Structure 1
Amino acid sequence: MSAPPRILAIAGSDSSGGAGIQADIKTITMLGGYAMTAITAVTAQDTTGVHAVEALSPAMVAAQIDACVGDIGVDAIKIGMLGSPGIAEIVADRLARIEAPVVFDPVMVATSGSILADAATIASFERLMGLATLVTPNLPELAALGGAGALAGKGFTFLAKGGDAEGPVVEDRLTRPGVEDCVWRGDKIETRHNHGTGCTLSSAIALFLARGQDLESAITDARLFVRKALLKAPGFGQGHGPLGHQEVKL
């Protein structure tokens, strides 16, 4: 029996369990991986919004990364909410020393609309995008980062997630330097229980990359996992409820 792939999730905690570190752990575990965490911030949130945020110190985030990588080792890294420019910089410092696929979900706004990254934090994302194997912005995040043309012009590899667009079809577009874009399309799943879709997708991609899959097949399988989890949502909460990670079988 081979050892499970070791995935380090660097992200904030969601007290309601739908997104953030909690969604990362559920996704990685359900897909057969071993989940480790470096928590960047603690949030008080539920399905209706984020009510309070407290970022950890950059030194504490770095210590968590060092502890995981130094002892257990890592096969892939997923990055989500960072919480401050200082955390973004120290995470980039650590990534520059690690040989493993990196999936960066540039979390700026929660599904509920709550802001999770200020302008200074967003400005610090560029170095991380340059280190990442894949960046996974949704459409508002892509716009805040300068748009698809700006990211492509800098040579970043990114998946523009189209779930926020109007219309009955979701289109996700993978852009890579020197390669024709790859596009996935699917019927939009109409539900308010979509809290944590971005966290889930990026963690799943990291897990599949750790298994040795190429980028396109990792995205294909991760999208399938998210779609199944959306359909299995338990219906919790009064707002944007969590996905049904525990009910999904691939």
Structure 2
Amino acid sequence: MKKYRYPSTLTIAGFDGSGGAGIQADIKTFSALGCYATSVLTALPVQNTMGVRKIYPIALEAVADQIESIMDDVFPDAIKIGMVHTPQLVITIAQTLQKYKKVPLVFDPVMVATSGHKLIEEETITAMIDLLFPLADLITPNMDEAGILAKVTVETLEDMYAAGERILALGCERVLVKGGHLEQDTLQSILFDKNSQPEIFKSKKIKTKNTHGSGCTLSSAIAAYLAQGNTISEAVSLAQNYVFNAIEQGSDVQLGMGNGPLNHFFNPQKQIKYELV
């Protein structure tokens, strides 16, 4: 009798009880794209579509134990890291992951929520750069986060190019500077790679406030496509298309009083099965 396996994906991220961002968005995205979703909770933000009210920490030992529990059993084909809001949490995640075989890793340096609420402590940035950047195959900051990392103002496409080069110089392999906040009809994101020229990904801007969790969704979609064996460039292109459609299909929905979620399940894929050899 033949045996099969699912492409397995792991999200290490914060909670969103309103369901649009964080670990919930990641699990929805992994599942919608045919992957098997596992998760590790890093923090418990109290939030809804209006914004973040408070952040409750998760014990560091509990985070390490969660990671080891998954890595020892349902070993992932790709990992997405999201909200890590303290230096101690960064250290815990990095040290725990280094015990295991390297797999494709996407790090979304969550610093600012869609609502504009700053989610990260200043001293955490140095720890991220020192410990998580070297482990990541791709960093996915939005324009605000790219500005924080590069220590420059990022408002235009030219600013994005300058910030991307600065972030690459911090020691990461690749960085995708997301242009969702560009004030123009065609949005552009730029993929920077140490070993190749920058690559531009374009999409039409959709007029909607339902973009809560779009960054989480993009990074987890990239991880899902990497788990399926795509290259970084292919995964980014496919993920950008998925997020565009998820925003478009959810653009006319009223859910909550603030920034609503994407429609993650506009076209759900069947669970992928690979034959074991």
Please give the TM-score of this superposition, normalised by the length of structure 1.
Answer: 0.96
- Per the alignment, residue 210 of structure 1 pairs with 227
1:10-60 Cα offsets, whole Å, 9 max, x none, are 000001000000000000011111111110011111111101111112211
Q: Does 1:243 align with 2:265?
A: no
* Unaligned stretches of 5+ residues in structure 2: 151-162, 270-277
Alignment correspondent of 1:120: 123
Shift of 1:193: 0.2
Identify the residue that residue 32 of structure 2 maps to in structure 1.
30
For residue 96 of structure 1, report the CA deviation from its aligned partner: 2.2
The runs of at least 4 aligned residues of structure 1 exceeding 4 Å deviation read none
Match of 1:141 in 2: 145
Could you say which residue in structure 1 is the equivalent of 2:103?
100
The DSSP-based 3-state class of the residue aligned with 1:245 is coil
Corresponding position of 1:152: 168
The whole-number CA distance in structure 2 between the counterparts of 1:222 and 1:151 is 22
Percent of aligned pairs with the same residue? 40
Give the 3-state SS of the residue equivalent to 1:10 in structure 2. strand
Q: Distance in 2 between matches of 1:129 and 1:141?
A: 14
Whose Rg is larger?
2
Helix, strand or coil for the counterpart of 1:237?
coil
- Aligned counterparts of 2:57 and 2:107: Cα–Cα separation in 1: 18
Q: Determine if contact 1:12/1:43 at 8 Å carries over to the other structure.
A: yes
Is the contact made by 2:34 and 2:268 (CA closer than 8 Å) also made in structure 1? no
**Offset of residue 73 of structure 1:** 1.2
State the secondary structure of the residue aligned to 1:150: helix
Distance, in Å, in 1 between the alignment partners of 2:48 and 2:54 is: 11
Could you tell which deviates more after superposition, 94-103 or 30-39?
94-103
> Aligned to 2:14, what secondary structure does the other structure show?
strand
Kept after mapping to 1: 8 A contact 2:106/2:222: yes
What value does the CA root-mean-square deviation take over the aligned residues? 1.3
Q: Hey, what's the Cα distance between the residues in 1 that align with 2:211 and 2:13?
A: 18
The equivalent of 1:164 in structure 2 is 181
Q: Distance in 2 between matches of 1:103 and 1:41?
A: 18
- Which one-letter code corresponds to 1:81 in the other structure? M
Matches within 5 A, 1:12-23: 12-23=14-25
**2 CA distance for matches of 1:33 and 1:3?**
10
Residue identity opposite 1:187 in structure 2: K
CA distance in 2, matches of 1:94, 1:77: 13
Q: How does 1:42-191 map to 2 (within 5 A)?
A: 42-98=44-100, 99-126=102-129, 127-146=131-150, 147-156=163-172, 157-191=174-208
> What secondary structure does 2:72 align onto?
helix
Inter-partner Cα distance in structure 1 for 2:243 and 2:89 = 28
Residue type at the aligned position of 1:103 = V
How many residues of Structure 1 are paired with residues of Structure 2 in the alignment? 250
Once the two structures are TM-superposed, the CA of residue 249 in structure 1 deviates from its matched residue by 4.6
TM-score by length of 2: 0.87
Gaps of 5+ in 1: none
Partner in structure 2 of residue 195 of structure 1: 212
Contact 2:11 2:81 in 1 (8 A): yes
